[in-house]
Amino acid sequence: MDTLLIASIALMGVVGAVSYPDCQAVAPHQKTLNDVRTANISAPASPFGLIFSKQSDRAFVALNTTLGVLDTSSLKPKLMHQIPVPAEYLDPSGVKAISLTHDGRYVIASTYIGAVIVNVEKAVVGSSDAFAGALVGTAGNSSMQVTITADDKYAIVSQEYGISDGIGALEVFKLHEPTGYGSGNVTSTYVGALFLGRAVLGTALSSDGRTLYATSELAVTDTQIGANGSARGNLSVIDVETLKTDPSKALLHNVPAGCDPVRVSVAPDSSVWVTARQSNHLLAYDAKKLLSQPEKALIASVQVGTAPVGLIFVSSKHGSRILTADSNRFDQLTTTGISVVDWRAALRGKPAGLGKIPTGLFPREFAISPDGRTVLVADFDSSQVQAIDVDSLP
Ligand SMILES: *[C@@H]1O[C@H](CO)[C@@H](O)[C@H](O)[C@H]1NC(C)=O
Ligand SMILES: *[C@@H]1O[C@H](CO)[C@@H](O)[C@H](O)[C@H]1NC(C)=O
Ligand SMILES: *[C@@H]1O[C@H](CO)[C@@H](O)[C@H](O)[C@H]1NC(C)=O
Ligand SMILES: *[C@@H]1O[C@H](CO)[C@@H](O)[C@H](O)[C@H]1NC(C)=O
Ligand SMILES: *[C@@H]1O[C@H](CO)[C@@H](O)[C@H](O)[C@H]1NC(C)=O
Ligand SMILES: *[C@@H]1O[C@H](CO)[C@@H](O)[C@H](O)[C@H]1NC(C)=O
């Protein structure tokens, strides 16, 4: 290959020649990273969401009917106790994703009806009155992710299927502490909802907190959720200030987000990353272009393992990485594990996949400790919580 050709191929990776991966793309075999330090514990139920408290030695895990409190002072976590979630907020699919308010005082966990709020200070000591409130709206009973605005005054809950025809939504709640700061409980006012596509799942705030990103797995015209390999979802770009007052008017743009996009996360450089589960790829978008030139916002597409769901940014001593939880949740018997990707290399159009870390079955969601040294992953189908030592990543 001559130098000119190599140069123009390299340039293509940078100047917007990025194309969407095929929905039927198969995840290839990946190199196994046997030198990554991991430890795991079995959980009393299938773990789903995870979040650290403001202290790196305490974390929370969704355990179907309870919120487990983990001691994470050493790599191998210990389950200290479980905070029961009142049955009136639960269905058999249990507690799902968990978020922490920016002030670290409450965790908000999605359950089918909306979300439950737990007081962190009380939960870490195992107090029986740690339950602090609930968020119940009118846009559905299939909540998945909770995003809390930067000022801790609003919570946004994704409702995967909405109220009819599978059209999902984002519900917006204003949060109040009824008897003032420190009372230990939270009440809420339901502001309203923004209806998007089918299977509305992942949400994330932009680095400046002014834009919300949300994924919808399938187009409104697709009726077979998850069963149709050609289905294409969207990344919705939403104005946070409008969402706080008039949710139904807050949508700025819908941008194509490949095949079954399920989670979204924002990189330290503000770029926006989506797991396109059906095509086994990560897609990256430029944050400024998502606002001004959405049709040109796609800046990278990276192969990972089978059916990626969760994604998280880490900084190891070897550089900036993104991890994907390659769930293989539809048992295609190809790859399961955690892909390790050099996301800065991907943005330069360079090879970026570094291999995979072995996991249990159906790795689903991640959390990272405030000190950045430990990542937890929930292996849903093998009822394990696994910890990864970030410094041992390649
Ligand atoms: C969660 O608990 C309910 C009972 O409360 C049970 O029916 C269901 O199978 C459990 N789900 C999982 C995933 O363990
Ligand atoms: C959620 O389920 C409860 C209990 O079945 C029902 O009363 C309520 O109307 C449902 N809410 C929505 C928005 O569908
Ligand atoms: C918080 O809410 C719980 C359950 O509704 C209630 O039992 C408790 O008294 C409340 N605590 C305060 C300080 O308001
Ligand atoms: C994606 O957005 C386009 C344009 O707004 C819309 O026609 C399509 O139905 C949307 N698909 C999803 C998955 O929401
Ligand atoms: C996917 O679903 C759409 C709408 O339901 C349908 O038109 C299309 O033929 C389906 N494609 C495949 C490959 O099944
Ligand atoms: C979980 O830990 C056990 C030892 O406690 C180990 O044998 C097993 O390989 C670990 N599983 C994973 C997926 O790392």
Residue nearest to atom 3 of ligand 5 (CA): 222
Whether residue 223 is predicted with pLDDT greater than 60 in this model: the reply is no
312 confidence band (pLDDT: 50, 70, 90): very high
Q: Output the ligand 3 site: residues, CB below 6 A.
A: 129, 179, 183-185
pLDDT digits (tens, 9 = 90+) for 355-383: 999 999 999 999 999 999 999 999 999 99
Q: How far apart are CA 179 and CA 182, in angstroms?
A: 8
Mutate to test the pocket of ligand 3, among 185, 186, 187, 188 (most ligand atoms within 8 A of CB): 185
Q: State the distance from the centre of ligand 2 to the C-alpha of 112, rounded, in angstroms.
A: 9
Q: 132: closest CA among 188, 94, 81?
A: 188
Q: H or E segment at 51? A: strand 50-52
Distance from the alpha carbon of residue 85 to the mean position of ligand 1, in angstroms: 13
8: tokens are 């123009």
Measured from the CB, is residue 230 less than 6 Å from ligand 5?
yes
Residue minimizing CA distance to atom 1 of ligand 3: 185
The token duo for 79 is: 């389950």
pLDDT at 9 over 50: no
CA separation for the pair 293, 276 (Å, rounded): 21
pLDDT band at 11 (very low <50, low <70, confident <90, very high): very low
Q: How far is CA 165 from CA 92, 112, 114, in A?
A: 22, 17, 19
Is any atom of ligand 4 closer than 6 Å to the C-beta of 303?
no
* Residue pLDDT, tens place only, 77-134: 999 999 999 999 999 999 999 999 999 999 999 998 899 999 999 999 999 889 999 9
Closest residue (by CA) to atom 1 of ligand 6?
A: 40
Taking the CA of residue 185 as reference, the ligand 3 atom at the shortest distance is 1
User: Where does the pLDDT of residue 2 fall: very low under 50, low under 70, confident under 90, or very high at 90 and above?
Assistant: very low
Query: Quick check: CB of 254 below 6 Å from ligand 4?
Result: yes
What is the model's pTM?
0.91
User: Rounded to whole angstroms, what are the CA distances from 190 to 60, 134, 162?
Assistant: 26, 11, 15
Binning pLDDT at 50, 70 and 90, where does residue 231 land? low
Atom of ligand 1 lying closest to residue 64 CA: 1
Q: What is the per-residue pLDDT for 183?
A: 61
Residues with CB under 6 A from ligand 1: 45-46, 64-65, 92, 94
